[in-house]
A and B are shown apart, each in its own frame.
Chain A
Amino acid sequence: MAAEEKMTLETWPASPEKQTLEGKNKFLGFWLFLGGETVLFASLFATYLALKDKVPSAEHALAKDLFELPLVFVATMLLLTSSLTSVYAMYHMKNFNFKKMQLWLGITVLLGLAFLLLEIYEFNHYVHEFGHTFTSSAFGSAFYTLVGFHGGHVAFGLLWITTLMIRNSKRGLNLYNAPKFYVASLYWHFIDVVWVFIFTVVYLMGMVG
């Protein structure tokens, strides 16, 4: 089966992302890449935990002074929901329903964008209300690096999914682009999982001191 062949609902296979050898390779390669990403974030988490509340002077704000759970709760809900909507998108991809897939991917992107805007607001708030900046302390450096790396991943994911949606908007699904959509959704789930850990390790553990 050639990757660029025109497909119909009848000829669409059950696992279109793994139908071609290229698709299989992408699928496996991306899972392995996420394994490497896990180690990357583990290193960042370890650095954060080692440097949490390590500040040069007593006036500097600590984790328990900074964080407010309502804001973080909203951000968490946005991102968790976006993971769910990307599952819906993949459900429609597997059922060869391109329009609905695009719709749910669009909702995913909007939710992700809202999360990113909240994060920018949050960082801005810490910088201007508390003087907690990237350069003010080792705590600041570690906090913005860990959370910022995650934010950077979110931004890259948004760019990626949007590019895929625009590039394929006119031609619909085929076995060439199905693995691409699938892999992008895997990436999005990974971002979500990392956030669950950030929520726990940075925010919840930060609140209890």
Chain B
Amino acid sequence: MSTYTQKKGFGATLWDYLTTVDHKKIAILYLIAGGIFFVLGGLEAMFIRIQLAVPNNDFVSAGLYNEILTMHGTTMIFLAAMPLVFAFMNAVVPLQIGARDVAFPFLNSLGFWLFFFGGVFLNLSWFLGGAPDAGWTSYASLSLASEGHGIDFYTLGLQISGAGTLIGGINFLVTIINMRTPGMTYMRMPLFTWSSFVVSALILFAFPPLTVGLFLMIFDRLFGANFFDVANGGNTIIWEHLFWIFGHPEVYILILPAFGIFSEIFATFSRKRLFGYSSMVFATVLIGFLGFMVWAHHMFTTGLGPIANAIFAVATMAIAVPTGIKIFNWLFTMWGGSISFTTPMLYAIAFIPSFVAGGVTGIMNAAASADYQFHDSYFVVAHFHYVIVGGVVLGLLAGTHFYWPKMFGTMLNEFLGKITFWLFLIGFHLTFFIQHFLGLMGMPRRIFTFLPGQGLETGNMISTVGAFFMAVAVVILLINVVITQVKNVQVGNDPWGDGRTLEWAIPSPPPFYNFKQLPLVRGLDAYWLEKMEGKKGMTPAEPIGDIHMPNSSFIPFMISFGLFVAAFGAMYRVDYSWGLPVLVIGMLITILSMAVRSVKDDHGFHIHKEDLMNDDDKGGKA
């Protein structure tokens, strides 16, 4: 083992991460990249709130405001929330099911680099003539009228990163179906694995419509097609449908993993089995299923007619039932439990009322006739920030504190963690609660300023003050991360002391092969069961033998880089003669890299039994 843990220089470490196919390192890459984009999106949010702090403000111009607003939404959804979800899926799911890696380690790396280059491409728009400015939904009538290349950065960038997400989704589906350790039946899988499973299925079926929508937009803007050009027979509503057929499942893609993380946290820190496990699984699957039937509730005012609106309204309200099941199960998990108020648990407890508030306004929006009043007002802004920040972001922050020791082998400081929690929670409600009333008072969404004397001043000022609370909270979290990593106090297998699932049975961070011997799972909360019977660890399901591991590869980076180059070519082809050759060169880089991957055999390597035998002191025992 000593050979694997030698101190490495910066260059070697960098090369290691550029070529890694290890799910734990890819998780760290997702966490860092997603974290950086989260800070970027947060800065954009701060600029929005500063601009709207007082009436008639001129902190930014109207055009720049549109760009900031668009990039805030796009960055937060596609480049911050999605990759952070993938960070935890990568870090935790293979460990929870007792696997040594994901089903397709190479594709796992490819998925990350596609996301990364897509995100970088999108954000380069700031320096190359202006960012997209048609909102994160990029409705066709606005997009086609948008000058410059902002929208092209949006379509091409999201196309590249979307391909990465789709690959990730397929990977986790196969991993969870094929790679579970002996005894890990479907109904013994931890809830986070279950929600990752359902989310992966949603990704598989939700992302292709976005791919098509983005292609149509690319063809219209860059290749002279007429999909959305009414004068030539086109129809702008097609974009709205394709976007929301993707976009609605997308919000469940974000929230379900957060539900999964909270389910783990509630059970762990109530020291109780999750209440109603089977109904939780059922509710998760049902939410995933219904999530595909409700997209037109984003389009009530488009004019689909009363029948369509009524059907989609009822379907939308139906989702409240499985969500309600979950809320009650979490409450009953805490009921009678021996609760410890750690930082992750605080987030989990605060999540319940915050998310329920967002759910209630969701039902209000689902009433189609009432939605005609709410539509495009700050009421809608308040609603979706309550579910996304109150649900997804609280979940990701809770997950960061909860899984940090498993990912890095160190504990984030609990005192600083609690300060972050309280500042963030207070700031969140301060910012968004008042926006319900701003909306009901008539403040439209996506405006860059407002006039004095209309009763909007106080509400907007309160909202801006709240945003600063959240910003300070995030800064304290970053300080906490730095302090923790500098101190570098290593922790053991089960640092929370109450871990229930397989990941807590192995060292923090786990050895690169995860399990020296695959563990035998005898029931739900496999590790907890063994602990309750007084055992130190899991019973192995196999004798010690050679372990087959995948080889590292630089090819995923090159495939993604080729598409990044090609995207520039496709975009500048309409302005400059060098565009077409660049497009061709980029595609060649990608296709040749794929060809190398096809032609060169990759059998991986084996860790030999003898090396594992001498490895007892390092842990990694099943």
Contact = CB atoms under 8 A, between A and B. Distances in A.
**Interface residues on chain B, size class:** 35 or more
B232 interface: yes
A176 B166 CA distance: 25
Contacts of A24: 178
Interface stretch (B152-160, B210-218, B276-284): B210-218
Nearest to A166: B599
B137 interface: no
A36 B170 contact: yes
A29 B213 CA distance: 24
B174 A28 contact: yes
Nearest to A53: B233
A51 B242 contact: no
B205 A36 contact: yes
Given A25-B104, A40-B212, A167-B598, A51 B166 contact: no
A56 B231 contact: yes
A36 B208 contact: yes
Contacts of A3: 603
Contacts of A47: 212, 216, 227, 238, 242
B204 A138 contact: no
A56 B208 contact: no
B233 A50 contact: no
A140 B179 CA distance: 46
A142 B227 contact: yes
B233 A51 contact: yes
A4, A135, A139: most-surrounded residue (chain B CB, <10 A): A135
Interface in A128-160: 134-142, 145
A138 B232 CA distance: 6
Contacts of A135: 223-226
B103 A29 contact: yes
A3 B602 CA distance: 10
**Interface residues on chain A, size class:** 35 or more
A141 B226 contact: yes
Contacts of A55: 232-233
A145 B219 contact: yes
A43 B104 CA distance: 27
Nearest to B213: A43
Interface string B164-178: 001000110110011
B227 A29 contact: no
Contacts, number: 112
A28 B178 contact: yes
A145 B216 contact: yes
Interface in A30-66: 32-33, 35-37, 39-40, 43-44, 46-47, 50-51, 54-56
Nearest to B245: A43
Contacts of A33: 170
B421 to A, nearest CB: 38
Contact of A50 (B174, B225, B235): B235
B225 A35 contact: no
Nearest to B227: A141
B212 A32 contact: no
B143 to A, nearest CB: 16
Given A145-B216, A163-B595, A138 B235 contact: yes
A138 B227 contact: yes
A50 to B, nearest CB: 6
Contacts of A163: 595, 598-599
B542 interface: no
Contacts of B227: 47, 51, 138, 141-142
A36 B103 contact: no
Interface in B189-235: 204-205, 207-209, 211-213, 215-216, 219-220, 223-227, 229, 231-235
B575 interface: no
A55 B230 CA distance: 10
Nearest to A139: B233
B204 A35 contact: yes
Contacts of A142: 227
Contacts of A32: 170, 173-174, 204
Nearest to A25: B103
Contacts of B598: 163-164, 167
B601 interface: yes
A33 B233 CA distance: 33
A51 to B, nearest CB: 7
Contacts of A28: 173-174, 177-178
B232 A145 contact: no
Interface string A11-37: 000000000010011001100110111
B238 A25 contact: no
Contacts of B226: 135, 137-138, 140-141
A35 B235 CA distance: 27
Contact of B233 (A35, A40, A137): A137
Contacts of A137: 226, 232-233
B205 A35 contact: yes
A169 to B, nearest CB: 12
B38 to A, nearest CB: 27
Contacts of B232: 55-56, 136-138
Given A47-B216, A164-B598, A176-B601, 18 more contacts: A4-B603, A25-B103, A25-B178, A28-B174, A35-B204, A37-B208, A39-B208, A40-B208, A40-B209, A47-B242, A55-B232, A56-B232, A134-B223, A134-B224, A137-B226, A138-B232, A145-B225, A163-B598
24 contacts: A4-B603, A21-B178, A25-B104, A25-B179, A28-B174, A29-B104, A29-B170, A33-B170, A35-B205, A36-B166, A36-B207, A39-B205, A39-B209, A40-B211, A51-B227, A55-B233, A56-B231, A134-B223, A138-B227, A138-B233, A139-B233, A141-B226, A145-B225, A167-B598
Interface of A: 2-4, 21, 24-25, 28-29, 32-33, 35-37, 39-40, 43-44, 46-47, 50-51, 54-56, 134-142, 145, 163-164, 167, 176
